[in-house]
A and B are shown apart, each in its own frame.
Chain A
């Protein structure tokens, strides 16, 4: 069992105030500023919940994919994954688009596609985000 923790503070109103991701359990990042404007309009160098979800999903998917490829006897040399999260205020997160490019010796494109779909369906973050209407994956070998 693994627990991971983050601490956030907020001062002032939603529109004029601002928040800070003060610290996380690992110490890997923080403080990071967050504001409503940087979430809903231009990011202006500030992160947002949606960007953090994108980061979590890209990382989880990549770990699951590299694991699946290794299990199949074709471990990857390199995987490049991006995740783009679309959020519609009032509706919620409507889409996560995963794009992965992989360098995998000894593997053909069809088998790579199959592995990416399995990682998309099976990784813990995908399972946690099962309520998102659309999680797409665009995969190709480098």
Chain B
């Protein structure tokens, strides 16, 4: 099996409370983003990313490829899929901050697929998505799937 290796880096200056960092994609060069502890824990991130937001992007982009594969395997390849992922970090008594849930909302159109088939593909995608499998060790993963248009198709 070919190994896939991807690297990212962060340079952090100062303490957690008052410092800040820039997190960058080394393998692709696709992003370089400022982050602070305030942008991580406050309800308003003020335009800055955070580990949890990066995980949400990772889970959404991992899940969407799994869902596309499952639909293709069922003979109903998708035309278009949309996946929204929300990662929640909470303070758990006695253990500190923990990532407690990842909520996936998937929608899309796949000619020839009915609502039950789409739901089934979403379930299989969750079972097959490497990120879902990993994060389930510590967090709750929920999947909500909605077929767009032609629900009886």
Contacts and interface: CB of A to CB of B under 8 A. Distances in A.
Contact of B58 (A40, A52, A79): A52
A12 B64 CA distance: 11
A89 B1 contact: yes
Contacts of B77: 12-13
Contact of B16 (A11, A63, A94): A63
A61 to B, nearest CB: 8
B80 A48 contact: no
Given A51-B6, A92-B130, A28 B68 contact: no
Q: Is the interface of A mostly helix, strand, loop or mixed?
A: mixed
B25 to A, nearest CB: 5
A17 B67 CA distance: 13
B8 A124 contact: no
A38 B4 CA distance: 10
Contacts of B29: 45
A56 B58 contact: yes
Interface in B80-113: 80-91, 96-99, 108
A57 interface: yes
Nearest to A55: B8
B133 A131 contact: yes
A130 B77 CA distance: 33
Nearest to B44: A26
> Which of A8, A55, A57, A81 has most B Cβ within 10 Å?
A55
A91 B2 CA distance: 11
A108 interface: no
B31 A47 contact: yes
A44 B136 CA distance: 31
B61 A59 contact: no
12 contacts: A8-B60, A10-B67, A10-B108, A13-B77, A24-B53, A25-B53, A48-B27, A53-B6, A76-B12, A87-B5, A91-B1, A125-B99
